């Protein structure tokens, strides 16, 4: 009697194994995966990537036309990316970054001792004119090497124009637009 139960158990295990193998073979017969002859990887060099992704060059900007289609409201929306580090109100406090009220036309470290600027910005010197703002907003780390600013930049020239147009309005006497 005991041998008969052992035979039943063995037959069940054997039938289960045969069923699994059969299902596997049937699936292989019905569904053929696409064969890949060989894998291909496209390797782009830095020059190719720059020509495809970074078509905007701040050095070639025509200041007279750059702000022609700038949208103040879009610039205000874009400025929300900055509120984690900057304030925009007249007399506003500094955060991680300085207050941006009346920034255009001022010295790059215009707040003096009221804000601890990075050494890189202090060495850069100059004023925040339209050209320097375009460079900064496009790629801050390229414009001021060693800056503490963690912002990666804006790749869309229209966004840059919109944001600068908004920053321009943050003043009692806005800097005239370039002609």
Q: How confident is the model at residue 37 (pLDDT cuts 50, 70, 90)?
A: low
Q: What is the pLDDT of residue 27?
A: 85
Task: With respect to residue 11, please indicate whether it lies within any of the assigned structural domains.
Answer: no
- Give me the residues paired with residue 121 across strands: none
Q: Which residues touch 124 (CB under 8 Å, ≥6 apart)?
A: 108, 144
| Tokens describing residue 146 | 């060693």
- Rounded to an integer, what distance in angstroms lies between the CA atom of residue 148 and that of residue 119? 9
Q: Would you say residue 45 has pLDDT above 70?
A: no
Q: Would you say residue 47 has pLDDT above 70?
A: no
Q: Would you say residue 104 has pLDDT above 80?
A: yes
- pLDDT by residue (tens digit) across 73-94? 999 999 999 999 999 999 999 9
- pLDDT by residue (tens digit) across 166-178? 999 999 999 998 8
Residue 142 belongs to what domain range?
A: 57-169
Task: With respect to residue 140, please indicate whether it lies within any of the assigned structural domains.
Answer: yes
Quick check: helix, strand or coil at residue 15? helix
Burial class of 136 by CB neighbour count within 10 A (0 to 12, 13 to 18, 19+) = buried
| Mean per-residue pLDDT over the chain, rounded | 86
**Within 13 Å, how many C-alpha atoms sit on residue 36's CB side?**
3
In the DSSP assignment, the letter for residue 107 is B
Task: With respect to residue 175, please indicate whether it lies within any of the assigned structural domains.
Answer: no
Q: How many domains is the chain partitioned into structurally? A: 1
Task: With respect to residue 149, please indicate whether it lies within any of the assigned structural domains.
Answer: yes
CATH number, domain at 151? 1.10.760.10
- Rounded to an integer, what distance in angstroms lies between the CA atom of residue 18 and that of residue 24? 10
Q: What is the pLDDT of residue 46?
A: 55
pTM: 0.68
Cβ atoms < 10 Å from Cβ of 178: 14
Residue with the bigger pLDDT between 162 and 53: it is 162
């Amino acid at each position: 009697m005991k041998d008969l139960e052992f035979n039943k158990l063995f037959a069940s295990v054997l039938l289960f194994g045969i069923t699994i193998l059969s299902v596997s073979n049937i699936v292989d017969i019905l569904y053929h995966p696409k064969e890949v002859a060989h894998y291909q990887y496209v390797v782009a060099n830095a020059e190719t990537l720059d020509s495809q992704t970074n078509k905007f060059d701040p050095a070639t900007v025509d200041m007279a036309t750059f702000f022609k289609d700038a949208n103040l409201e879009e610039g205000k929306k874009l400025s929300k990316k900055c509120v984690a580090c900057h304030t925009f109100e007249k007399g506003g406090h500094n955060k991680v970054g300085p207050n941006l009220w009346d920034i255009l036309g001022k010295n790059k470290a215009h707040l003096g001792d009221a804000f601890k600027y990075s050494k890189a910005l202090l060495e850069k010197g100059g004023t925040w004119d339209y050209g320097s703002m375009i460079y900064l907003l496009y790629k801050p780390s390229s414009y001021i090497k060693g800056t503490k600013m963690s912002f990666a930049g804006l790749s869309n020239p229209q966004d840059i124009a919109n944001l600068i147009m908004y920053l321009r309005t943050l003043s009692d006497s806005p800097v005239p637009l370039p002609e």
